[in-house]
Amino acid sequence: MTDRVRAHVFVSGRVQGVYYRATTRDTARETGVDGWVRNLDDGRVEAVFEGPEGDVRDMVEWCETGSRAAEVDDVDAEYGEPEGEDGFEVRW
């Protein structure tokens, strides 16, 4: 059995209005990672990824580039215990 982890991620840069959330959702679903993604009022994107450690770390690394139109300045991730996310969704 693979150990599951949780990453709580904040992405800053030009990451809103560039399909960042939709692309994150699609990539997470393809990877088999659970969680969610949403825009924050301060212009950042917040995401939670849960799943096997390697897959979660791959998603955090993916956030450093994101969608093709995004310009990512920084990715801040905190790792912890999973909280039971099921599926992956865009939150509003």
Domain boundaries, the chain: 4-81
Per the prediction, the chain carries an average pLDDT of 96
Catalytic residue among 4, 14, 38, 39: 39
pLDDT of residue 65: 94
pTM reported for the whole predicted model = 0.95
pLDDT band at 45 (very low <50, low <70, confident <90, very high): very high
Q: Is 21 a catalytic residue?
A: yes
Q: Letter for the amino acid at 80?
A: G
Q: For residues 34 and 39, what is the distance between their CA atoms, to the nearest angstrom?
A: 18
pLDDT of residue 28: 98
Q: For residues 52 and 16, what is the distance between their CA atoms, to the nearest angstrom?
A: 28
Q: For residues 41 and 45, what is the distance between their CA atoms, to the nearest angstrom?
A: 9
pLDDT tens across 20-39, in order? 999 999 999 999 999 999 99
Catalytic residue among 6, 21, 25, 44: 21
pLDDT band at 13 (very low <50, low <70, confident <90, very high): very high
How is domain 4-81 classified at the CATH fold level?
Answer: Alpha-Beta Plaits (3.30.70)
